Every structure is written in structure tokens, then in C-alpha cells.
Amino acid sequence: MSSPTMAEKNRLTPKPQGVGGFDECWYPVALSSEVARGSVHGCEFLDGRVVVLRAGGGEVSVLSAYCRHLGADLADGDIRDDCIRCPFHHWVYDASGQCLGSEVGDRVPHGTSLFAFPTQERWGLIWAFNGREPTYNVPTWEEDESERCYSTIMVADYRGDPFLAMLNVIDVQHLRSLHGLDVSDIDLKTEDESFHVDMTIGGGDMGLPTMTRHAQILGTNSVVYSRTSIGIDMMSAATPYGDGRSRLYLVTAGLHSVIPAESIVQKVADRQRMSEDVIAQDIPVLERIRFRVDKVTSSDRGIVTFLQFVTNYPRSHPSAALIA
């Protein structure tokens, strides 16, 4: 494989998130376990801050964090009748972000509302879509949650954009050299909103069992592993926040139909620890990398194809005026 020209290198190096907006993806903003019923939880997201409201019935909403009056952080507010009450002047917002009024009785200006992100809760994660309407479904498996035993954690925090964690899924050289894994039978293909990889993988210092697996990268920040021959699949997703950092979440899920009930919890826990060990090897590299495409080899075919997908991916930032 010949090395790209300078113009091709520039086209293959994604601009940092925030330049021209953020990729239009589903992003996990919090663990489900972080947001109790009848509570509000604040977190950094994109280049600003959001709040997650969980109503008494369990429904969740992701909203811009700052009151439209004088900008108080609504994460410091309280919940009244499934609405957020601002801690400063007690303006009240419902789950759609609409301001319902203030306790002093002044008329609230027309159009006073928070930005409401499209929101879903799946597999122990609360997801927000960066855009006014989702362009694809939230990452998931075919099975219902009751058909899997799963564990969900925030596994890492690193300096860099979400695509870097996804690049590791198909970076064959890194799988072989950094992790010592045997990788073969690699097949790649792209669709409109996703990127697919099939491979056989195993070995390494962690003793990863040899298995075939299918990986679907959704958007530029999430990967869903499925069809794994050992019956345990994984999902990971990265969320940009702050000054060029990302949080990486991990779901490890075993199929009740494949793994005996008496061993499934332990097998899921063991597989999660293996994934944590692999990711822990990646993080020091991600913290210090100055990513750019320079010289490439035949093993980098998947990297080049994925970077073409990433650099052409749509961006927007409809919440920009309200979350920062």
C-alpha cells in the first residue's frame, strides 16, 4: 500500500471535535446508576454542560444545564413534580425543557426553554444524540436486555477525540504489537452510518480465548461486538467533553441462551476485567498521541478506510448557545 500524498494525509486526519460542530452521534452522558428516580445529575458534554433528569416514573431527559434567567447550574436545583427547580430564583422547567414559570409570579418571556437532546436509556447507559433528530438507532443488540446478563462501567478517560478509541477496533498492527493478539480472517465494509469488521482474534498476555466476532462501529464513537463465538459480547462508546477529552464506557453482556446460569455472572465479570486490562494498555498511548496520518502500510487498509468514513461524517451543534 503506497503512502498517501500530503493532500490525502490532510483529508485522512479528522479535524478536532468542536471544529465545525460535533459528530452527529449517540453519546452516553451518564451511567443509569448515577441518576436515581426523582433526581437531577450534571455532567460535562461536548463543549459545555448538561443535566440528566430522571422523573419519579423512571423516564430520563437530557437538557442544557444552565437556567435561561441568569445562568445558574440546574444540577444544583431540586425536583418538584418531575420538574427541575432552579436553585437561584426558582424558575421551573419540565422534562421537555420548557420553562413553566417562576415562584415570584413574573411572566416568563416567550420561548424560554432549555435545549432538549433526543434521549434514550439502554444497557445501563443514558444516551443523548447530538442533533435535533437522531439519524440512526441507539447502539444495541438484537436481544432484549432480559436475555443478557450485563455489566456497565465508565472504563477510561483520555485526551483525544472519540474516534481514536474506535480506531483501535480495526488497527491490526496495534492489536498484534501492543496487545500480542493473534488476528486473522479480517473483512471490512462500510454502510451509510456504520462501519463493519469481522475477524478471528485471541491470545495475548491476558489469555483471551480465540473467537470469531463481528464489530459494527456506529457513528464515529460507538462499537457493538456481536456474534461472538463464546457467547459474551461487548459494547463501548466514547463521549467528548471539556478541552479535547473523552470518557469511554463499556458494556459486557453474556447471553443466557449460551452460558449456564450458575456461571454467567462470573464469566461476564472475567471478560470485563480482560477488556479493562486491554484498554489500560491503550490509554497511555492515547494520552500522549499527536494523531496524524503519515506513513502507512498494507496492514493499515482498515485504518485508511475508517478515517475516510470519519472525515466525511456530518457535524452540527444545535445546543451551542445553551450548554456553554
Are 94 and 40 contacting, i.e. CB atoms less than 8 angstroms apart? Answer: no
What is the predicted pLDDT for the residue at 2?
56
| Domains contained in the chain, number | 2
Residue 168 lies in a domain: yes
**pLDDT number for residue 117:** 98
CATH code for the domain in which residue 107 is found: 2.102.10.10
Q: pLDDT per residue over 265-281, tens digit each?
A: 999 999 999 899 989 99
Has residue 6 been placed in a domain? no
Last-in-domain residue among 99, 129, 159: 129
> Once rounded to an integer, what is the mean pLDDT over residues 159-165?
96
Residue 158 banded pLDDT, cuts 50, 70, 90 = very high
Range of the domain at 208: 145-315
Domain end call among 97, 129, 161:
129
Mean pLDDT of 160-184: 86
pLDDT band, very low/low/confident/very high, at 176 (cuts 50, 70, 90): confident
Last residue of a domain, one of 129, 157, 173: 129
pLDDT of residue 43: 97
Whether 180 has a pLDDT exceeding 90, the answer reads no
Do 233 and 304 belong to one domain? Answer: yes
> b/e string for 226-243 if b means 16 or more Cβ within 10 A?
bebebbbbbbbbbbbbee
199 pLDDT above the threshold of 90: no
pLDDT for residue 179: 84
Cβ 190 vs Cβ 309: under 8 Å: yes
The answer to whether position 10 is within a domain reads no
How much is the pTM?
A: 0.92
| 225-269 pLDDT tens trace | 987 778 999 999 999 999 999 999 999 999 999 999 999 999 999
- 161: which strand partners? none
Residues 73 and 181 in one domain: no
Whether 18 is covered by a domain: the verdict is no
